[in-house]
Amino acid sequence: MKYLSEYRDPEMARGLVKRILDTSTRRWTLMEVCGGQTHTIVKQGINEVLSDAIEMIHGPGCPVCVTPLEQIDRALHLATRDDVIFTSFGDMLRVPGSECDLLSVKARGGNVRVVYSPLDAVELARGNPDKEVVFFAVGFETTAPANAMAVWRAHELGVDNFSVLVSHVTVPPAMVAILEDPENRVQGFLAAGHVCTVMGWDEYEPLADRYHVPIVVTGFEPLDILEGIWMAVRQLEEGRHEVENQYVRSVRREGNRPAQDLVSKVFRVVDRGWRGIGTIPGSGLGLSPEFAAYDAEIKFGLEHIHAEEPAECRAGDVLKGRLKPYECPAFGGRCTPESPLGAPMVSTEGACAAYYNFGRVQAGAAAGANS
């Protein structure tokens, strides 16, 4: 995409807003699955300008936010070991564990390093044969191919001092969990475009048919999201429930087949815990038996580490769409980006951080009430 301004044109945005308002005959409830979309929606005020016609519920599509507390604690355990170089993308460093975060461990002398690709961690392991190098493999289907490639490459090169702490989750089972929740209010979804760039959208079609909800694969710029909302509203008004693709410049129905093939070779489907939500069956990826030697949980015997979510943090309700961030009693007072209780206040894709930084009226009111 050469010119971002083309997807942020104010005149086109106003036209799409008018089209949505003119199409809606009642107030519909939509969920954007991706945290990146949440930040665009809140930062650009899309949720506010459409509030008479649309309620946007913010879904669990922030990989940092849904990484279970016990996985953070396992990462912290590894990062404090003298024989380990612990590597991660930078967005995981300030996610709070039970006692502290990875940045605190690094400040106290732990060998914690930020990498920009999991393949960098493989090279780090090759250059430091006297150390165990662990990469924190977090994310949805978007990051799974690169993490699979790192494991595949380490296996190919015979690098036995490399492993991954896996916390991969997948989107469709989370959507099913939301739709089957007795308190569910979601009538349509904006599906995450980058996930569908890898996986395509055919796996969403049974969901749209079974639960009678429109699902629109949507990009991340303001015009992407406004068009995606309009497409979803048009389906709802017409009584349709189909999968449509707004993000045509990046997504094909079949997705990226080579990436899918690699993921299926290295990973297998497993049950996975989601922070604040609990275990969702078949919602995660774990290393397949062929690559079990690269599983940090097995290699370092971490299965015994468990943790309880703090009761004060309402992240689970936020991630399930039951609670707007500013409705949490701790929001803006006990919980801020500088002193977070939960991951949604830390992550650049977290709904709580979006409302704290960009939520204007709601955020300001909540911060004043809780100060």
Q: Please give the mean pLDDT across all residues of the chain.
A: 92
Confidence of residue 364 (pLDDT cuts 50, 70, 90): very low
Residue 365 has pLDDT above 80, yes or no: no
Question: Helices in 50-164 by DSSP H: which ranges?
Answer: 63-66, 69-79, 102-107, 118-127, 144-157
* Paired sense of beta strands 267-274 and 278-287, if any: antiparallel
- Could you tell me where the DSSP H helices lie in 279-360? 296-299, 315-319, 351-358
In the chain the domains, ranked by start, together with CATH numbers, are 17-54+184-245 (3.40.50.11750), 65-170+255-298 (3.40.50.11740), 318-364 (no CATH)
Q: What are the pLDDT digits (tens) for 226-251? A: 999 999 999 999 999 999 999 999 99
Whether the model clears a pTM of 0.85, i.e. scores above it, the answer is yes
Provide the token pair at 229.
């909302």
- Paired tokens of 4: 């971002």
Residue 122 has pLDDT above 80, yes or no: yes
Mean pLDDT, residues 186-213: 97
When mean pLDDT is compared across 5-9, 76-80, 142-146, 203-207, the lowest value belongs to 5-9
Whole-angstrom Cα distance, residue 247 to residue 250? 6
pLDDT digits (tens, 9 = 90+) for 312-327: 889 888 988 888 999 9
Least confident of 104-113, 165-174, 175-184, 314-323: 314-323
**Cβ neighbourhood burial of 340 (10 Å; 0-12, 13-18, 19+):** buried
Over residues 29-69, the pLDDT tens digits come to 999 999 999 999 999 999 999 999 999 999 998 888 899 89
